[in-house]
Amino acid sequence: MSKFYITEPTYLTVTEDGTLNPWGIFDNCTHLGCTFPWNNNEAQFQCPCHGSRYDAKGVVLRGPAPLPLKLAHVNVEGEYIRISPWTENDPRTGEKPWWV
Ligand code: FES
């Protein structure tokens, strides 16, 4: 059995009813790799380095970021949350993820 380790900081997000989303969003801008905060007032991830903005699913709203944010699987297992690589089609585009 192979093991994968995710070492990049990853946002865990919840739905409006408070349920944990089954995907996490990597805190790593696809422009030049800066980390970024969530702006709750504008409901966007906003990269402070060069101004890229992403929606809550990590889709680019404004560049220079060229690609959506990477995703990871998020599963609750007992009292732990397991984060694992997302290698299936990107649910936002229906296509093979750019990071695979
Ligand atoms: S690194 Fe995020 S916009 Fe440049």
* Tens-level pLDDT at each residue, the chain (100 residues): 445 556 789 999 988 898 999 999 999 999 999 999 999 999 999 999 999 999 999 999 999 999 999 999 999 999 999 999 999 999 999 999 999 9
Q: Is the CB of 32 under 6 A from ligand 1?
A: yes
Q: Which CATH code is given to the segment(s) 10-85?
A: 2.102.10.10
Which atom of ligand 1 is nearest the CA belonging to 32?
1
Cα of 53 to ligand 1 centre, how many Å?
9
* pTM for the whole structure: 0.88
* Structural contact between residues 29 and 47, judged by C-beta atoms closer than 8 angstroms: yes
Pocket probe for ligand 1: among 45, 50, 62, the residue whose CB has the most ligand atoms within 8 Å is: 50
Distance (Å, whole) CA 37 – CA 47: 7
Pocket probe for ligand 1: among 28, 30, 46, 52, the residue whose CB has the most ligand atoms within 8 Å is: 52
Return the domain boundaries, the chain: 10-85
Q: Nearest Cα to 46, choosing from 56, 60, 55, 36? A: 36
